[in-house]
Structures are given as structure tokens and as C-alpha cells.
Amino acid sequence: MNLVEAKYFEYTINIFKKSLEYRGNDNLPTYKILWKHNDKLLFANTLNIDNDYNILINKLSPDFNPYHDELPIVENGKFPIDIIESVHQKYFHSGFSNPVSLYNDPLALLKESISSAKSLDKFHLDNPEYRLLNVSYLDSKTTLPFILIDENFELEPVSLIEVSKN
């Protein structure tokens, strides 16, 4: 999948967790995505997300100080509201929907998140920031805070690895 699809995929997993926590499910695992790129396995984030699952974008103040601002979710049909609505419509369609067992099964969550992310007709992400964050390669001890990539960069999600429980 290209970087934009990967961002939709990663955010889908975050929407599942946020929605389940909102419905009172505590102690949910946190997953890291194991990606494959050019036959190399790596952990990386495609999005910068805060503790409240808001997507943060890089900004520069008038006096050239970098800071993070939340990506607004008010525009209909654009990222991230399009994937939020898609996930809620499919998995949280009623007040009684509670797919916690899906979330707790990493293989099922991986498959469903890929399916959900790819089910959209169009991807609407302005300025997708072509970079990966918190990159660590499995075959070496190389860790990088970020890497810049081009728009043709392809990632394949391989697995979800549980890193912690809240």
C-alpha cells in the first residue's frame, strides 16, 4: 500500500481503540504495526498521534519555531472524518455494538483494518507529509526518529505486535 493508504490503515486501528475506550473497555492492548518494505521488516508510524488519538501536523510559527497542531476533522469526505465514519458505520453502528473481541485478536484486527482502509472509494488527504516516524528496523539496531520518503514509497503491513496494556 502507498503512504496515504498506510495512514488510513494506521488510523483505523486507532479509531477502533478510541471507540472501544469510549464505550468503557479498559485495559486494551496497544499495537505497533510491523511493516515490510523492500524485504526489510520495520516498525514505524505513518501518523503523529497524541494520547487522545488526535492527528498532529507539523507547523511553523511566524518566528520560525516548530510546533504541532491538531488536524481538524470537520471537513466532510476528507481524512480523517471519512475513515472515522466508515469504521463507525460498519463496526459501531448501534449503541450496543462492541467489537472488543475483534480488537483483541491482532490477526483479525489487521485483516479488518486493511479491508476498512481500502474500502473507501477515494482517499482525501491533503499534504500527506511523506515521512515515517519512530522507525526501527528489525534486522539491525538502527532506530531513527524519522525518515523522509517519496510519494511512491510502498509499505506492506505484516503484523500487529502488542506493546502494552493500558
Q: How far is CA 165 from CA 28, 40, 42, 104, 129, in A?
A: 6, 27, 22, 11, 29
Half-sphere exposure of 164 (CA within 13 A, CB side): 1
Show the DSSP H helices in 48-160 as ranges. 81-91, 100-103, 106-118
What integer is the mean pLDDT of 19-40?
94
Query: 44-90: per-residue pLDDT in tens?
Result: 999 999 999 998 888 888 898 888 888 877 666 688 888 888 899 99
pTM: 0.90
66-70 β-sheet, strand order: 48-49, 55-60, 66-70
User: Average pLDDT, stretch 135-149?
Assistant: 93
The DSSP code for 28 is -
* pLDDT reading at 165 higher than 80: no
- Residue 39 near residue 158 (C-beta atoms within 8 A): no
Return the number of other C-beta atoms located less than 10 Å from residue 119's C-beta: 13
pLDDT band at 117 (very low <50, low <70, confident <90, very high): confident
> Which residue has 488536524 as its cell numbers?
71
Mean of all residue pLDDT scores within the chain = 89
